[in-house]
Amino acid sequence: MAAMTIGEVAKRTGVGVETIRFYEKQGLLAAPPRRRATSPSQAGRREYPPDAVVRIRFVQRAKELGFSLKEIGELLSLRLEPGITCANVRAKATAKLANIEQKIDTLGRMKTALVKLVKGCSGTGPTSECPILEALDREGN
């Protein structure tokens, strides 16, 4: 695969041009060199190497698994550090999994509390007597 324009990379990865530029600013993707002027229409265009597509797809898959851009940058840098093993990558994934499980627990508690509030409200009467609003006004919920 030959060098590509930013538009071609965007099309191959399914992300927008602005997303690619954002990833560059965040350090997740190296800014490519500018093309040499072989014709006026081609002058100064940035040419992305084929591995830019692979890298952007990596970022997208990691995002789908809940990794933040900072965490994705850390994962990408693990490949470059000497002495790093799969155990280091596994530790990061395990920490992310624990974080997701904690969020699920928190969401479950929120759901239980909200279900209770909704069941306690008939949906009739003025808002000054709404049990949901009254519960939110009370301290120590």
- CA dist., res. 5 & res. 35, Å (int): 10
- CA dist., res. 76 & res. 25, Å (int): 15
Helix, strand or coil, per DSSP, at residue 131: helix
End-to-end CA distance of the chain: 59
Render each residue's pLDDT in the chain as its tens digit; 141 residues.
688 999 999 999 999 999 999 999 999 999 887 766 565 666 667 899 999 999 999 999 999 999 999 999 999 999 888 899 999 999 999 999 999 999 999 999 999 999 999 999 999 989 999 999 999 998 665
CATH of domain 1-67: 1.10.1660.10
**Predicted TM-score (pTM) of this structure:** 0.78
- Maximum separation of any 2 CA atoms in the chain, in Å: 75
- CA dist., res. 117 & res. 60, Å (int): 38
